[in-house]
A and B are shown apart, each in its own frame.
Chain A
């Protein structure tokens, strides 16, 4: 295993791969640091560039974006007091106060170094745990897969902060989108209305781009030119004070438990599908506060808050990569784009991925590991300029991002149809956001739709008895867990509603 990893590292160290990785990390740091541009959006922007590269180079670039973006977000947090990307929300709580106390350099570099160490710790788990996880997944038959997917969707629908019904409905919409077109096994056309245009179903990537980049930008535009309601005073023109990297590192390692625990929280959230970086950063922050000896200092520029949030959101990346490589289920929207890119290059993801494409799998590990030093280097060089970068106006950014979205959709198969789909789902996504539907369950439904159907049909074709889903131990256990998680969500929701003392629960 270690020799494979060494091979992977040597392989990645070629210019052919190192350059995309470096460029990806660079774009990731920039994209992550721009408020209003999410990591998902950055990956989508990079996507069309990867069509022309060979698979590993493309994936290396995307891994770089993911790592860079998870770190870049903290820069805006510390300097402007707004998260540069959702994954760094919790960094704002302590990073900005610390900067205001006159230590912006310490705040930023605590974050960067915590990211590096959290990410590298996560890499350990990624390298050593993915194989065993995939081995478990290999034991799965279609029944187990079906139940696993049901569990994933139930959990995500239950975890959304909005109402459970909206979460479930959002999943259902995602599934419904995948049903359109010929069914994957019997090839019966469904919901096509006799039209050639939707006969092939909605291609996955354009839908994703539409919902996550296009709709997102539109919601950003709402705030533009409006009454400037931002009460945050930014630290424009501030100079980073002198500080020593060694001291910052010592500060992190003085609390190994904090670092390790934040990493594990991030990792677990990353492994769970479709929850994503923002949840991991907030949860690790919460945990840090609970375990801290000085909880009262949180929110006033406490270094522990920054370390927890940043270590966990980078570990979250390794968790997501683990899920996608072991099970073929993307852990979040970013890995969903990566999965889409793999499919374009004809690579099947799933439990066989590691054994069938060891070069690629270990290449991704290596890219993930090497992305951290790259990111560090970029941060060191760019930091003096970052304040100017983070204040680039949305009016300039939006058109450029949109052009790249359109190119990403068009170049997928060189037809305008994908672009029309992109536009359609941009509108759909925007409307859903406005109606308060969470998008994470939708994307999961969309990703799993085909798989869940194939496995269901296969299971029934192998043995028509539907009871097998419950009587096979693993499958049954997963289904029970799914039911439990929905029940738990309902219970929590009811409790919450009682506490808020609203009239009567609406379900």
Chain B
């Protein structure tokens, strides 16, 4: 089966090579944002075992929201903060306390 898949890959590559005509730029998409989002998620996953679920989630939700739609007024910043704190706390309580699903502890914080 592995051989078959490898063959198919080869076959496809050989047949596709000459016909790679990209359809120009269509509506411009925001790739910078995607890269930033990937980086933030990567950071979250890396920090999760170090900082623990609660702290890391708080930072992650806040950071990603801020990156996706930059808050301008004080009120918008408060909303972002409230959602970050809310997500971290509510998910922690529902999972650990109520559903007994364990979440990562922080190696640095022990929290």
A interface residues, Cβ below 8 angstroms from B: 48-49, 51-53, 165-166, 168-169, 172-173, 175-176, 179, 190-191, 214, 218, 221-227, 229, 393-396, 398-400, 402-404, 406-407, 410-411, 414, 416, 419-420, 423, 426-427, 430, 452-453, 456, 506-507
Cβ of B78 within 8 Å of any chain A Cβ, yes or no, is no
Interface size (B, Cβ < 8 Å)?
Answer: 46
Interchain CB contact under 8 A, B15 and A416? no
Interchain CB contact under 8 A, A453 and B1? yes
Other than the known A218-B34, A407-B95, what 18 A-B pairs have Cβ atoms closer than 8 Å?
A51-B99, A52-B95, A52-B101, A169-B9, A175-B5, A179-B2, A190-B2, A218-B38, A222-B34, A399-B60, A400-B83, A403-B60, A403-B61, A403-B91, A406-B44, A407-B103, A416-B48, A456-B1
Interchain CB contact under 8 A, B87 and A221? no
Partner of A407, one of B42, B69, B91: B91
Chain A residues, Cβ within 8 Å of B57: 403
Cβ of B29 within 8 Å of any chain A Cβ, yes or no, is yes
Contact count A vs B, C-beta below 8 Å: 134
Interchain CB contact under 8 A, A398 and B68? yes
Interchain CB contact under 8 A, A227 and B27? yes
B interface residues, Cβ below 8 angstroms from A: 1-2, 4-5, 8-9, 12, 15-16, 19, 27-31, 33-34, 37-38, 41-42, 44-45, 48-49, 53, 57, 60-61, 64-65, 68-69, 83-84, 87, 91, 94-95, 98-104
Closest to A174 in B: B5
Chain A residues, Cβ within 8 Å of B33: 221-222, 224-225
Interchain CB contact under 8 A, A396 and B83? yes
Interchain CB contact under 8 A, B1 and A419? no
Chain A residues, Cβ within 8 Å of B1: 175, 179, 452-453, 456
- The smallest C-beta distance from A406 to any residue of chain B, in angstroms, reads 7
Interchain CB contact under 8 A, A221 and B91? no
Chain A residues, Cβ within 8 Å of B101: 48, 51-52, 407, 411
Chain A residues, Cβ within 8 Å of B38: 218, 427
* Among A53, A223, A402, residue most surrounded by chain B Cβ atoms (within 10 Å): A402
Chain B residues, Cβ within 8 Å of A48: 95, 101
Chain A residues, Cβ within 8 Å of B103: 407, 410-411
Partner of A399, one of B87, B99, B104: B87
- The smallest C-beta distance from A412 to any residue of chain B, in angstroms, reads 10
Interchain CB contact under 8 A, A223 and B30? yes
Interchain CB contact under 8 A, A395 and B65? yes
- The smallest C-beta distance from A143 to any residue of chain B, in angstroms, reads 16
Interchain CB contact under 8 A, A402 and B99? no
- The smallest C-beta distance from B111 to any residue of chain A, in angstroms, reads 16
Interchain CB contact under 8 A, A224 and B69? yes
Closest to A165 in B: B12
CA–CA, A223 to B27, complex, Å?
9
CA–CA, A173 to B6, complex, Å?
9
Closest to B31 in A: A222
Chain B residues, Cβ within 8 Å of A227: 27-28
Chain B residues, Cβ within 8 Å of A165: 12, 15-16
CA–CA, A224 to B31, complex, Å?
10
Chain A residues, Cβ within 8 Å of B60: 399, 402-403
Chain B residues, Cβ within 8 Å of A175: 1, 5
- The smallest C-beta distance from A206 to any residue of chain B, in angstroms, reads 12
Instruction: Take A227-B28, A423-B45 as given contacts and tell me if A410 and B104 are in contact as well, using a CB distance cutoff of 8 Å.
Output: yes
Chain A residues, Cβ within 8 Å of B4: 172
CA–CA, A426 to B45, complex, Å?
12
Interchain CB contact under 8 A, B29 and A223? yes
CA–CA, A427 to B99, complex, Å?
30
